[in-house]
């Protein structure tokens, strides 16, 4: 019989690529949605925090592990934003209004933040 886990996320699951990508996506989208704060680099900061936190949790880490952690942070960010997809342009064309100004649209929860 399979044992049902007591927790949705554990430290171990959060430090996998899938877990770190999910956390980066959820935190960035939630902050963007709640505060209308749409900074492209914010997801990268979240991804780096998760990756460096993973290095600190590694027993007997070495200085080279921080370099690998930084590379992993970029990898987490790339997966979270979808830049790892092979096809398609993730940037939608800018909508210009009658006065020549970019139209401000209300963002939805899963709108792209990059």
7-37 per-position pLDDT tens digit? 777 777 888 888 999 999 999 999 988 998 8
89 found inside a domain: no
Q: Kindly report whether the global pTM for this prediction surpasses the value 0.75.
A: no
Cα angle vertex 34, ends 111, 83, to 5°? 30
pLDDT of residue 92: 54
Total number of domains in the chain: 1
Residue 38 belongs to a domain: yes
The CB density around residue 15, as the number of other CB atoms within 10 Å, is 18
Asked if residue 19 is part of any domain, the answer here is: yes
Domain assignment present for residue 21? The answer is: yes
CA 40/CA 97 separation, integer angstroms: 23
Lowest-confidence pick of 32-36, 49-53, 65-69: 32-36
Residue 44 or residue 110, greater confidence? 44
The span from the CA of 90 to the CA of 81, in Å, is 9
Q: Report residue 108's pLDDT band, with 50, 70 and 90 as the boundaries.
A: low
Q: Does residue 98 belong to any structural domain of this protein?
A: no
Helix crossing, 17-35 with 42-56: angle to 10°?
A: 140
Per the domain annotation, does 105 fall within a domain?
no
On whether residue 103 sits in a domain, the answer given is: no
Note whether residue 6 is domain-resident. Answer: no
- C-alpha to C-alpha distances, 88 to 84, 98, 111, nearest whole angstrom: 11, 29, 16
| Spatial contact of 73 and 52, defined as CB atoms under 8 Å apart | yes
Range of the domain at 45: 11-81
Tell me the average pLDDT across 75-103: 66
């Amino acid at each position: 019989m399979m044992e049902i886990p007591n927790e949705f996320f554990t430290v171990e699951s959060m430090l996998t690529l899938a877990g770190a990508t999910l956390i980066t996506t959820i935190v960035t989208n939630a902050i963007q949605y709640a505060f209308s704060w749409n900074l492209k680099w914010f997801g990268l900061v979240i991804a780096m925090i998760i990756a460096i936190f993973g290095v600190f949790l590694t027993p007997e880490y070495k200085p080279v592990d921080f370099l690998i952690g930084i590379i992993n942070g970029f990898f987490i960010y790339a997966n979270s934003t979808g830049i790892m997809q092979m096809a398609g342009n993730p940037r939608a064309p800018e909508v210009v209004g009658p006065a020549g100004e970019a139209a401000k649209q209300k963002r939805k929860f899963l709108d792209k933040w990059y």
